[in-house]
Amino acid sequence: MIDLSEIKNFLLCETPDSWVDNALQHPALMLLDHANCEKKAASTAIHLMYRYVSDFELLNKMSRLAREELRHFEQVIAIMEKRGVPYEQITASRYAAELRKPVRTHEPGRLIDTLIVGAIIEARSCERFAKLAPHLDDELQGFYLSLLKSEARHFKDYLTLAQKFAGGESIQERVDEFLALERDLVVAGDSEFRFHSGPIEEGAG
C-alpha cells in the first residue's frame, strides 16, 4: 500500500464513515458512477489538451493521464459486465459542478483554478478508494488499491502544473479556498449517492 499521508494532509477532512455505509448499500451505483468518474477524468484532460496547446509538459501529462483514466474506465466496465451491472445514464453529482463554480474566467486564473480543482478531485478519489478498499470483496479491493498509485500521481501532476502556470506566485491561498469548499461538499448531506457525494440525508434517495 502506498503512503497516502500527503493526500490526507492536503484534504481538509476524511470521507465520513456514513458515506462508506452508503457506498456499501449501493454497490451497483458505486461502480456505475465510478465508471463515469473515470470517463469524465479522461475527458477533462483531453479538453485541456485542446484548450492549451502551447505547453508540452501540460500536453504530455494530460495525454498520459487521459490514457490511464480510460484504462481505469475499461477496468471498471469489465467488472460491471462480469457482475451484471447495467450501464445506464445517471445524473452527475453536485460535487464537480460546485467545485468548478469559483473557477476564474480570465487567464491564467482559469487554467490555474481548473488544475487546482483537478488536483482536489484526484486527491479525494484516491482517499475514497483507500477508505472503501478494506470493506470490499477481494477482486474490487485489489482493483481499488491498484488505482491509488496512479490517482496519487495525477494529484501531483495537476498541482505541479497549477504551480507552474502561476509563475512565481503562490497558489496556496487559492488552493485553500477550493479545499474549504470541497470539505463542505464532502461533509454536507446529499440527496443521491454518487462516488463524490456527501453522505445521504435521512429520507432522501
Closer residue to Fe ion in complex, CB, 155/200: 155
Site string for Fe ion, 56-95 (x = CB under 5 A): -------------x--x-----------------------
Residues between 113 and 132 with contacts to Fe ion, criterion CB under 5 A: 122
Q: Which is nearer to Fe ion, 182 or 200 (CB)?
A: 182
C-alpha cell belonging to residue 125: 478519489
Closer to Fe ion by Cβ: residue 125 or 163: 125
**Complete DSSP assignment for 73-128:** HHHHHHHHHHHT------PPPHHHHHHHTT--SSTTHHHHHHHHHHHHHHHHHHHH
Q: Does 151 help bind Fe ion (rule: CB under 5 A)?
A: yes
| Torsions phi, psi for 143 (to 5 deg) | -65, -50
Closest CA to 165 of 98, 110, 99, 87: 110
Closer to Fe ion by CB, 8 or 191: give it.
8
Does 154 participate in binding Fe ion (rule CB under 5 A)?
yes
The one-character DSSP state at 200 is B
**By the criterion CB under 5 A, which residues form the site for Fe ion?**
38, 41, 69, 72, 122, 151, 154
